[in-house]
Structure 1
């Protein structure tokens, strides 16, 4: 195991070409430099320098170790700078997670505002289901996550706190020529003959199944499509209808309209999740998410 100070000394000797000059640069005595280089060469398994009449220069083994030493020292320097700005409450790396529909408009709007306010913050964004995001917050690999209580409630995680961000109403997506496209609100019972677009994975209970049961029917046909773009395509083609969270309204194409439902139980709650000791940038992003939700409304054209 090479010591960091020894690697710094190797670089200094290589740059100055002299044990004496390296000693002056690092405030060592020449004898201390000679001893430490001898120890380093012993650890490396052989000589690292060619001894010349005037000074020294790296041999092939020395050049190989020198290359790695520069990389290690550069990484350490970057780590020191990152830690300094983190402890000062400025900059650094911010790892953010969100579920899919939060990434359509809400999270991007807040991240853009954060970049404008704090350009020194480096943002890493990931997407995943709520249970995965909560685990990643708990193990320290995320600094903030936007999560949802759908479909099975908000999971708990050690060392994670959550605060409610907004209520996310579910709307029904219809093609513009649909007989109910101009209705103020839609009762699910009026859609009992429709095919429904749902997610590709049907092993969990869904709001749709519960809501249809409350309305007194079972969907006659369910078409399972994984991505929102595919669901929208099927609805636009008149092949079915779909429930769409209001957070996803910004991605709805012009061929569709979104109508409110009479069943007010069709909603989910969105939360911001943070570690118990959050970063300053994470707290700033939490506040920007609140502001973004207040201004990010669905396109009016889709609601009329």
Structure 2
């Protein structure tokens, strides 16, 4: 309904609740007693509701009232509306208490290998009514979604060029994530404990980055005094591992990705201390309780090295 017959939200809910109560009790007097109204107040409100509905909703009987056909039609919708509002109120209550509701979570790719799944498993065990909606993306995109309120929490990193600014978003450091080199087990340097990047100057390198912006590999090679002989562009980690296992190239791999490295490959440390990134948890200005609990679970899930 609209215009002069439009309903304010407060009056509509109150009026529908009154309609349902009168129908359940069968009289204005009994409905008044249940809702702590006067009988005359109930009569006036029902009369106003009938005026807005365009006709009588109750038949007035010698003893009590009963719904008219129009009243039964409106009563059916009123019960549905009140039930939905009740369920919405319950869902909001458990959401704000951290006991349930939707939690939108974002993370960059290698955080989804073990770190985030381990934390989500612990969250689900503790709060089974929390329903997680997970997305994957680069840090800058995840921070934008936090600002836009389409994410409730995100796992981000300062690689490759630091954390972009994001209004109202706060971050907490989770861990330092060292970049290692992945080699085939048959590689001539696979038995070394730590490698100098210059020992790999003749290798082909597997990486996913495109464009003119320098990558961490470019910066590291420049510090070591050489330019990669060959770059093979492979977007997904599974593809990089496949190429490396076939002896077609080597790659920098975050230590967070170690659980996904197949047995045909080995990870080795590099002597360059700059080959490291910081992994952080990002939250909006007013985080949900479930997001705060997931942040704690993420801290618990950080691998101990």
Q: Which position in structure 1 is the counterpart of 2:230?
A: 221
State TM-score, norm by structure 1: 0.80
Q: Which position in structure 2 is the counterpart of 1:91?
A: 99
**Change beyond 3 A, Cα 1:19–1:276:** same
**Would you say 1:111 and 2:124 are equivalent positions?**
no
Partner secondary structure for residue 260 of structure 1: strand
Does structure 1 retain, via aligned residues, the 8 Å contact 2:155–2:280?
yes
Counterparts of 1:57-76 in structure 2, within 5 Å, are 57=67, 59=69, 63=73, 66=75, 68-76=77-85
Q: Which position in structure 2 is the counterpart of 1:128?
A: 137
For residues 67-95 of structure 1, what are the alpha-carbon distances to aligned partners after superposition, in whole Å with 9 as ceiling and x for unaligned?
554454334323433444455x4413343
Does structure 2 retain, via aligned residues, the 8 Å contact 1:14–1:58?
no
Counterparts of 1:172-251 in structure 2, within 5 Å, are 172-199=181-208, 201-202=210-211, 204-251=213-260
Report the aligned-residue RMSD: 3.1
Q: Which position in structure 1 is the counterpart of 2:4?
A: none
Does structure 2 retain, via aligned residues, the 8 Å contact 1:201–1:226?
no
Give me the whole-angstrom Cα distance separating, in 2, the residues matched to 1:137 and 1:279.
12
Q: Which position in structure 2 is the counterpart of 1:147?
A: 156
**Change beyond 3 A, Cα 1:186–1:68:** farther
Unmatched 5+ stretches in structure 1:
298-304
Query: Bigger radius of gyration, 1 or 2?
Result: 2
Structure 1 residue 251, shift from structure 2 partner: 1.4
Give me the whole-angstrom Cα distance separating, in 2, the residues matched to 1:124 and 1:270.
21
Unmatched 5+ stretches in structure 2:
1-6
For residues 193-240 of structure 1, what are the alpha-carbon distances to aligned partners after superposition, in whole Å with 9 as ceiling and x for unaligned?
332222264454310111122223322332222222222222223222
